[in-house]
Structure 1
Amino acid sequence: MIARDTRPTGHWMPLTARCRSAALVGVCLFTFGVETASAADRVTIHPEGTSSAITLVGDVIDFNRRELKLQQKTGAGLRYIPADEILSVETYYSEAHRRAVREFAAGEIGLAESSFLAAYADEHRPWVQRELLAALVRCARRQGQLAVAAARFLQIIKSEPATRHWSAVPLIWAPEPVSADTRDAASVWLSHNTEAGRLIGASVLLQDPAHGAVAVREMKQLARQTDPVISSLARAQLWRLKLTPGKTTPNELRSWRDEIARMPADLRGGPYWVLAKAHELAGDYEQAAADWLWLPTVYNEDAVTTVHASLAAARALTRLGRRDEALTLYREVASRFAWSPLAGEARAAMRDAHETTDASSPAGG
Structure 2
Amino acid sequence: MLSAVIFGIAITLSAAKADEVTVRTGPNTVRRVTGEIVEYNAEVLMVQRTGRKESFEPITIESFVTTWPASYTEGRKKMASSQWQEAIVDLREAVADESRLWAQRQIIADTVRCYAALGEYQKAAATFKVIYRNTPITRHLSVLPIQWWVDNSNAAELETLKSWLRDIPPLKLAAASRLLTSPLRREAQQSLQDLVLDTNPRIAILATCQLWRDEVVQATPETVARWEEKLQRLSPDLRTGPAYVVAATLARQGDWQDAAELFLRCPILFGNQHELAAQSLLAAAGSLEKLDRHRQAATLYREIITRFPKSKCASQSQQLLSNLDPS
For the aligned pair, the TM-score class normalised by the smaller chain equals: 0.7 to 0.9
Which residue identity does 1:239 align to in structure 2?
W
2:281 to 295, 310, 328: 310
2:154 corresponds to 1:178: yes
TM-score by length of 1: 0.79
Q: Deviations over 1:35-81 (max 9, x none)?
A: x5x44433344668xx7624322x32221122223333x3x144444
Residue 260 of structure 1 corresponds to 231
Which residue identity does 1:116 align to in structure 2?
L
Distance between the aligned counterparts of 2:264 and 2:25, measured in 1?
35
Distance between the aligned counterparts of 1:309 and 1:52, measured in 2?
32
Q: Deviations over 1:291-320 (max 9, x none)?
A: 212212322342201111111211221121
* Long gaps (5+) in structure 2: 1-7
Distance between the aligned counterparts of 2:30 and 2:279, measured in 1?
41
Alignment partner of 1:254: what SS?
A: helix
Please give the residue correspondences for 1:15-54 in structure 2 after superposition, counting only pairs within 5 Å.
28-34=8-14, 36=15, 38-45=16-23, 53-54=31-32
Give identity over the alignment, percent: 29
CA contact (8 A) 2:20 2:32 kept: no
- C-alpha change, 1:320 and 1:54, in structure 2 (3 Å) is closer
Higher helix share goes to which structure? 2
Q: Which structure is higher in RCO with an 8 Å CA cutoff and minimum separation 6?
A: 1
For these two proteins, the number of residue pairs brought into alignment is 317
Alignment partner of 1:327: what SS?
A: helix
Which residue identity does 1:189 align to in structure 2?
W
Alignment partner of 1:88: what SS?
A: strand
1:166 to 141, 157, 162: 141
Please give the residue correspondences for 1:125-140 in structure 2 after superposition, counting only pairs within 5 Å.
125-140=100-115
CA contact (8 A) 1:266 1:301 kept: no
Distance between the aligned counterparts of 1:46 and 1:296, measured in 2?
24
Distance between the aligned counterparts of 1:117 and 1:101, measured in 2?
12
* Long gaps (5+) in structure 1: 1-27, 359-365
CA contact (8 A) 1:167 1:301 kept: no
2:315 corresponds to 1:340: no
Q: Deviations over 1:232-254 (max 9, x none)?
A: 2111111222344xx22222222
Distance between the aligned counterparts of 2:225 and 2:143, measured in 1?
26
Residue 25 of structure 1 corresponds to none
Which structure is larger by alpha-carbon Rg, 1 or 2? 1
CA RMSD after TM alignment: 2.3
Q: Deviations over 1:241-281 (max 9, x none)?
A: 2344xx22222222222222221122121112222222222
CA contact (8 A) 2:137 2:200 kept: no
How far is 1:337 from its partner? 2.1
- C-alpha change, 1:349 and 1:197, in structure 2 (3 Å) is closer
Residue 170 of structure 2 corresponds to 196
2:204 corresponds to 1:231: yes
Which residue identity does 1:205 align to in structure 2?
L
